[in-house]
Structure 1
Amino acid sequence: MAKLLNEKTIKQLITMSEANKIIDKTFQGFGNETVVNPPKVTLDLGETGGYPYHEGFVNAMPAYIGDSDIAGLKWVSGTAGKRKEAGLPFISALIVLMDPAMGEFISVMEGTHISNLRTGAQTAVSLKYLGFKDGLSIGLYGAGEQARFQIEAIADLFDIKELRVWNHRASTAEKFAEDMAEYVKGDIIVCQPDEGEKAAQADILITVTNAQEPILLRKWVQPGTVVFPMGSFQEIDDDMILSMDKLVVDHPYQALNRGALKRLNSEGKVSEDDVFTTLGELAVGKSTMPDFSDELVMCIPIGTGAMDVAVAEAVYQKAISNQAGDEYAFVEYE
């Protein structure tokens, strides 16, 4: 029997604090090579303007987690067009889990909430590996749902002394500041749409927008800053990328072929030779982060299926313990 879990049930079964712990352990799995994570496969459904003209994409993200002996796949779409007209969120996702020894599919669950949790947790845990302590100053570009998960995840591990938030719509940034007050122990500064430079006056800069052209410029950023370009496109300018002193990623191939680095990698201007270390190597002590107070560091936890599968497996186990969700027999053996 396969366990079926909807979004409402998943939200009752997993917390951000638990997600942070799971992501930490999964990064260690990458470092110990007990995680198997092929690069994601993308089905273009018109995202780039071509046929079929649905203004969207679907990613297939498989992974195996050795510590829990679980395999799974996240099938996640991003669709504008008719979905946007209907007032629905851009992202929708499902996660399928499998018992790899028996070859049986054991769960199908909604994947968007898990995606949001693990994306926020990736940044938070990465900050720990980079050597940050309490008293963080953060410049956040974007004030949507994922921005909220970023701050909630970071606040679970660190005290935030200052948060500067920028959004292309000021009213959204102001509402975000009100909502995030419970997570930020220090000041929250709302930067107006024409104050992008003001938001960059922080030690940690995170971009979580759908912008397809730079909103964060190199000339604004001081040495000692870590930049997290988390959006699906290139939210930072070429000068930022080409002048970085150290590049830290979760999955070198994926990081180079999606998001911020994709175009410059295709042009041969950025390559795997530019990767200083991976988060998995940092997590298990195979490498260490030196002092970077005079340098510009770029950290790209681009997002892997392993993170989704690891969180989903924890949700699945809780669902069994709490007798939550529904069950369905896709195949009935005699």
Structure 2
Amino acid sequence: MSTVLLSRSEVKSLMTMKEVVEIAEKTFKGFGEGTTINPTKVGLDLGETAEYPPYEGFMNAMPAYVGWLDTAGIKWAGGFLGERKKLGLPYITSLILLIDPRVGNFKAVMDGEWITSMRTGAQTAVSLKYLHKGPSIRLGLYGAGGQGHTQTEAVAAVFDIEEVRVFDINRESALKYAEDMKDIVKGKVTVVDDPRDAAWGDAIVCVTQSKEKFLKNEWIARRTNVFPMGSYQEVDDDFILSADRVIVDHVGQCLHRGALKGLVEAGKFQESDIDATIGEVVAGKKPGRLSEDDRVLCIPIGTGAMDIAVATVILERAREKGLGGHFDFV
């Protein structure tokens, strides 16, 4: 049986952000209902934090089974600075492999960088659909790079964005973001020079590579949804420990990477402090908010299930359109 091979350009041509959001929502529901199976990712530190080897990067192996599509696969993906950044390549590098879960044949191999970026934005958008009421939203954004773009595109697929206030340590990046998003954001995009000024709105999204806890508890107002999406802890300890609700996409992963890792290792945060998973909220098994005044910490750190679900629908469309190469590995 031939394996379909799909390039990044072919992958991008087959799906819109709105469709990615819809797929992410169905997959989150599967998490809540127990039909999405997603082991904790396995990480390989290639110098992201380790002293050796010194390549300023990491890779994750992310397998999953998605019941509503009866599909399985694995994403092998990571992020690199260092030599990759000098070459002008995207931070994320990724391939997705799909199998037929009944017999184990490899159905497809495709680029995963675009899917990773799109589904990461979609995870935030789906979460906000269940945490924020109303058709419009105000957004504070830290990080104006590729993820800042896709986060905004995804939120705009669900809400009318009244305003985005964006901060980036590179002002030129923020200005480019403002220009790029002028047709995506129905309201206005405001570039701010003081990081405190981006801690504003109905939702604050952090998509940075910062190792600083730059988002301060005292900046965050009542009723705000906070999404620290970076690999490190972008919000300070006080906010995490005082948030009214803590909601995550995957308990095992969120306890050992990203915003919660440091507090877990210090013994100040544990699994029982998590109020719900996004899947439980989407499936109607647990509430997102208990009160409109709640400050909610939501951490969709990213799961292979989202990638496998999006990739499977892309494969179906590629077959319909006759796109992609083929290779007989066996």
Band the TM-score falls in, shorter-chain normalisation: over 0.9
User: Structure 1 residue 190: deviation in Å?
Assistant: 0.9
Kindly provide the amino acid, as one letter, of the partner of residue 216 in structure 1.
Answer: L
Alignment of 1:224-243 (within 5 A): 224-243=223-242
- Are the aligned partners of 1:225 and 1:293 in contact in 2 as well (CA < 8 Å)? no
1:297 aligns with 2:296: yes
Query: C-alpha deviations, 1:21-73, integer Å up to 9, x for none?
Result: 10010001101100110000001112213222222111000000111111100
Distance 1:165 1:23 in 2: 25
Counterpart residue number, 1:44: 45
Worse overlay, 227-236 or 46-55: 46-55
Kindly provide the amino acid, as one letter, of the partner of residue 169 in structure 2.
Answer: H
* Other structure's SS at 1:222 match: coil
1:278 aligns with 2:277: yes
Counterpart residue number, 1:258: 257
Distance 1:181 1:166 in 2: 16
Counterpart residue number, 1:324: 323
Counterpart residue number, 2:121: 120
Distance 2:200 2:229 in 1: 18
Counterpart residue number, 1:211: 210
Query: C-alpha deviations, 1:6-28, integer Å up to 9, x for none?
Result: 00000101110110110010001
Alignment of 1:1-334 (within 5 A): 1-192=2-193, 195-331=194-330
Kindly provide the amino acid, as one letter, of the partner of residue 204 in structure 2.
Answer: L
Distance 1:250 1:152 in 2: 20
Distance 1:10 1:60 in 2: 20
Unpaired runs of at least 5, structure 1: none
Distance 1:10 1:204 in 2: 30
Query: C-alpha deviations, 1:224-265, integer Å up to 9, x for none?
Result: 111000111111111121111110111111111111111111
Distance 2:52 2:176 in 1: 38
Distance 2:61 2:289 in 1: 35
Kindly provide the amino acid, as one letter, of the partner of residue 288 in structure 2.
Answer: M
User: Structure 1 residue 84: deviation in Å?
Assistant: 2.0
- Are the aligned partners of 1:141 and 1:206 in contact in 2 as well (CA < 8 Å)? yes
Worse overlay, 117-126 or 195-204: 195-204
* Other structure's SS at 1:264 match: helix
User: Structure 1 residue 77: deviation in Å?
Assistant: 2.0
* Other structure's SS at 1:215 match: coil
* Other structure's SS at 1:118 match: helix
Kindly provide the amino acid, as one letter, of the partner of residue 240 in structure 2.
Answer: I
Distance 1:44 1:290 in 2: 36
Distance 1:46 1:59 in 2: 13
User: Structure 1 residue 85: deviation in Å?
Assistant: 2.3
Distance 1:53 1:137 in 2: 40
- Are the aligned partners of 2:245 and 2:289 in contact in 1 as well (CA < 8 Å)? no
* Other structure's SS at 1:197 match: helix
Q: CA RMSD in A?
A: 1.1
Kindly provide the amino acid, as one letter, of the partner of residue 16 in structure 2.
Answer: T
Worse overlay, 6-15 or 195-204: 195-204
User: Structure 1 residue 183: deviation in Å?
Assistant: 1.4
Distance 1:273 1:311 in 2: 31
* Other structure's SS at 1:19 match: helix
Distance 2:3 2:283 in 1: 34
Unpaired runs of at least 5, structure 2: none
- Are the aligned partners of 1:255 and 1:261 in contact in 2 as well (CA < 8 Å)? yes
Distance 1:173 1:79 in 2: 22
Distance 2:263 2:289 in 1: 26
Distance 2:220 2:175 in 1: 24
User: Structure 1 residue 305: deviation in Å?
Assistant: 0.4
Distance 1:67 1:116 in 2: 22
* Other structure's SS at 1:137 match: strand
- Are the aligned partners of 1:250 and 1:278 in contact in 2 as well (CA < 8 Å)? yes
